Structure 1
């Protein structure tokens, strides 16, 4: 509500602009009189400019609260008689009025009046509403200009605060930063409340900061027992400590008598919390501190809401990412299995890499049925929901088709058709898919695999020799009718099979890639004698340490070691 109307009325340019505006309103609506009413901090309406009004009009009796929900919500209206409170105050028999809005808040009214009833129609209200929009922009510019002139000593602080608030997307850290910006520049202490997620619950006290840490515990206890920070639409004095039990107020000492001021946190048209600031009783809040705190609360509200939305998006992305990864890795006789998955970035987007290792019993399952296992590691082109859709399709299709006893090449051919069937929603997919069968007498395992456009799998022999385990074949999602074949390897005791995504081979350091010049082969050769878990950990660490900057691609790998 507050627009610092007193400052606007002291500004010659603002007063001139308001007077020109009322003259325009009278001309456009052919009204007997017109006026601009500005909202004060306490909700009262004061006369900003007028033309043709009776001198005895008791404008001081008007308040924002008495306007009704339609006006407060931003809708223009027409009144045909004096039953309307604004018409009555302006001694008008008919009236057209439109709210002045600033950043979604009611900052005043522009009205046209006539001495005869029924002079204005809904079309007049609509025209007045358009004029009010233009006036709101002019008033907002004037308000900002006056604030800048009165805050010359605070401009660097506001800029610094904006930069700091824009520099974090962690909700808790943002609220802590807001409190620490307020104290001690504007107040002795600051509390940040957030709106509870459940309707009917009281707002949550999210952060408390006091300039004197010896008073912090007493203040926190006071606030925990105080009246709820009011769900106000505009800043105003706050006196909630009186609700705290006597013993709590006694333990808080002089803090229980501090004067406090509350500022709503409004972002994207809704209240997301409240900031309450306080000072000792003898230290009056100067108007400049209140105005600066109000400006800071606007910026803080958007920063906190951005952090909240980012946290929610990250949580959803993490949940979606977890749903696209297997719940666990099965135990395979004669084989050590280790996996690594490391998404790029800060978790705000779902990655395109995935892996899976699962048991695939024979269809004719019986007590003595032979068991096989399948593994897969893939990379969907891109990130986000569309890539996640293809990832989910691929991982679940692999399990379903394997359960139908389809061979590895047939699974890839069917999955290729499924991706092509997605049309524009489809994504290119590189995939390494294989089947593990234990050999008789525990003589290692036999693996048949197909590498469809994927970085080739590598075998590490006990003597440190490294070689490729499969030849390249077309990636999925490009051509229909592709026929795939398998490569078969025997993995004996001590041998290691390494399968990675291109987040490993294409890890960048300047112009160099980790996979350049058989870089991955040399790295794997140095893992001789290590367990599967140790091999996975060493490669993961090498990928992290390869470049000075964090990786911009997901990293996934599977290590199989015959034991």
Structure 2
């Protein structure tokens, strides 16, 4: 049965045993659906590769099936770059990847930035290759250009070409980064454990070429290849404009497998591939740098979005992990001038507790002046170490000073597992991020200090507490409009003057610190003048003069000020005056609400202002409600809560409620009157004579 060529599909499986059978079924059903008759080898090889990925990588697995010109290609992708691919003869699982070597037409391993791909090809029996029909001329002009191959794809092609041409058991493509450090980018065949570390990283510089019949004659550090049974190899550099950009290595398990002619043959392959690899590498580097610029812009925006110091430090570490490092920690400078750990995060959440424990055991130290390698865990910190501390203590790390406004505020440490290497670009990016993080952390610190100072000062403006008055139930509500404010332009107070009691509720023009300053002046002035025996009118006149003396520094003030005199029979005589403030409302047990419309001049405007005293008797069950204009002027569109006696109707429904319940019901009505947040301070004082 002939089927269409160039078909491709994939699916993802979790890292669990059941995935092996599921992946096997997926490959079998897919290939049969494409018309492939013999799928047994493909299913067996899929089982082997998926089992290997689950056991040795421990990440989710993506299985890709592709039919190309009558050949079946299956790839198994995992997301762990460091975990090895067992080779035949290893004792890890008993047989390593023996099946691919025996059953597959070809197979290999591709290492990329996101993990690795182990692949194999087998004949697609029954699948006939079809030549696609020629494309019409008009479509040739508008057809989209094929995507440029990546560095890893080109490296894999170079590895496969070298393996085919040299008859090698395995081929390695190593490319240099901006630090001239070699990293393994592709393999045709197998990659022994540690090859990226051992091949060239500690041996001769990039650029060597030659044939080595015995690995002992190689200038490179190759114990991993020797352990895998490799006996001979041939090397050729990738060279562009006289500059070596990498190394191509073909290896064999047979001693003396290669000759001097193989050096030239391998060099020709390297020379053909080098320009394409360099162009792709430069494009990859440019894309990475554009990505880093976008990352820094996004990080700056996120750091500017919070003024919570602890949250800012958490955000810094979680921006770094896992993009730039496996773990990160922020140290902050304390009063002693020494840096102590403040926050830490690890890509493996099971290791966060160990990391924090180890950091806490470190002796305090002054922050470094320059970035560089960090030796904090060497020697291991003193004290009782957690049993799993060895998972972190061997890590490599770099430290970056956190400098803001010309002074050191702490340290940023980033780390990775033993053998990890931080590229120059990654270190430069982390250093740039550390500078932005330092400013964000310092901004949050300054904000928190100023907010704490503001809260302390604001609390000093509030009354120390509401006194207990015999036979009188008292409740107050205060709701400042300013963000993070406890005191604004509205205020209240209840205090005793001998055998009587004074109460006040006022409203300073405006909100914020200026209004709060007048609040403090008015509240303290009322108490002092009242306890010196001054009457209600005298208190208002003297307070008016005091505010006028402050001139333009003090805004004007409206005030309801009164006195409660117990009459001894359960009743109270109320004497009060209003200075530009809404008069109080009175509720009797029958549900009738009364109030006045007249109010005298506000304080702080006219020196000649005088104030009229009014008197009424409160009997058991009677309620006095004092309020600020934040209640009556609560707006919803064109309507105010106080329009057409709105507050009077709310109060009339409060018969038989105690003072606290009255205050709560009024405030619910105020808050529910409009979905918009209030932009004015709100205060209530409720006095109810007990029955």
- TM-score, normalised to structure 2, is 0.56
Q: Distance in 2 between matches of 1:235 and 1:546?
A: 58
Contact 2:459/2:486, CA 8 A, preserved across alignment: no
Q: Deviations over 1:444-482 (max 9, x none)?
A: 211111111112211122232222157311110000111
The answer as to whether partners of 1:451 and 1:472 remain within 8 angstroms in 2 is yes
Q: Tell me the equivalent position of 1:168.
A: 306
Shift of 1:334: 1.5
Gaps of 5+ in 1: 1-146, 362-370
Summarize the Cα distance change of 1:173–1:525 in structure 2 as closer, same or farther, 3 Å threshold: farther
Q: 1:258 aligns with which of 381, 395, 398?
A: 395
SS in 1 for 2:294: helix
* 2:657 is equivalent to residue 519 of structure 1: no
Contact 1:313 1:348 in 2 (8 A): no
Partner of 1:505: 632
Tell me the secondary structure at the aligned position of residue 388 of structure 2.
helix
Does the alignment pair 1:433 with 2:561? yes
Q: Distance in 2 between matches of 1:174 and 1:290?
A: 21
Which structure: greater helix fraction? Answer: 1
Cα distance in 2 for partners of 1:412, 1:390 equals 14
Q: CA deviation at 1:181?
A: 1.3
Give 1:284 deviation, angstroms. Answer: 1.1
Q: Secondary structure at the match of 1:262?
A: strand
> In the alignment, what sits opposite 1:225?
361
543, 552, 560: which one pairs with 2:670?
A: 543
Q: Which residue of 1 aligns with 2:93?
A: none
Q: 1:288 to 1:345 in 2, by over 3 A?
A: farther
Q: 1:532 and 2:669 equivalent?
A: no
Which whole-Å deviations, capped at 9, do the CAs of 1:150-175 have from their partners, x for residues lacking one?
Answer: 62012332222222212212222122
Q: Give the 3-state SS of the residue equivalent to 1:276 in structure 2.
A: strand
Query: Which residue of structure 2 aligns with residue 334 of structure 1?
Result: 471
Q: CA deviation at 1:226?
A: 2.0
Matches within 5 A, 1:75-474: 151-196=289-334, 198-199=335-336, 202-228=338-364, 230-241=366-377, 242-245=379-382, 247-248=384-385, 251-347=388-484, 350-361=487-498, 371-442=499-570, 444-468=571-595, 471-474=598-601
Distance 2:576 2:441 in 1: 50
1:434 & 1:535 partners in 2: Cα distance?
Answer: 20
Deviation at 1:205, TM superposition (A): 2.0
Compare CA radii of gyration and give the structure with the larger one: 2
Following superposition, the deviation at residue 541 of structure 1 comes to 3.0
Q: Which runs of 5+ in 2 are unaligned?
A: 1-284
| Aligned residues: CA RMSD | 2.2
Please state how far the C-alpha of 1:279 moved relative to its aligned partner. 1.0
Contact persistence 1:227–1:243 (CA under 8 A): no
Higher RCO structure, 1 or 2 (CA under 8 Å, sep 6+): 1
2:290 is paired with a residue of what secondary structure?
Answer: coil
- SS of structure 1 residue aligned to 2:385: helix
Change (3 A) 1:314 1:246: closer
1:393-425 alpha-carbon deviations (Å, 9 max, x no partner):
111111111112111111101100111011121
SS in 2 for 1:328: coil
Task: Give 1:225 deviation, angstroms.
Answer: 1.0
Q: CA deviation at 1:148?
A: 9.4
Residues 178 and 546 of structure 1: CA distance in aligned 2, closer, same or farther (over 3 Å): farther
How far the C-alpha of 1:528 sits from its partner, in A, is 2.1
Asked whether the 8 Å contact 1:376–1:431 carries over to 2, the reply is: yes
Q: Deviations over 1:283-307 (max 9, x none)?
A: 2112222222222222222222222
Structure 2 contact 574–617 (Cα < 8 Å) conserved? yes
**Any conservation in 1 of the 2:576–2:615 contact (CA below 8 Å)?**
yes
SS in 1 for 2:495: strand
* 2:11 match: none
Q: Is the 8 A contact 2:582 2:627 kept in 1?
A: yes
Deviates more, 1:454-463 or 1:490-499: 454-463
CA–CA separation in structure 2 for the residues paired with 1:344 and 1:301 = 32
Q: Which runs of 4+ in 1 moved over 6 A?
A: 147-150
Change in Cα spacing, 1:148 to 1:172, as seen in structure 2 (3 Å) is farther
1:553 counterpart residue number: 680
Distance 2:485 2:290 in 1: 39
Distance across 2 between alignment mates of 1:246 and 1:450: 70
Distance 1:333 1:348, change over 3 A: closer
- Cα distance in 2 for partners of 1:321, 1:391 equals 10
**How far apart are 1:321 and its partner, in Å?**
1.3
**How far 1:350 sits from its partner (Å)?**
4.9
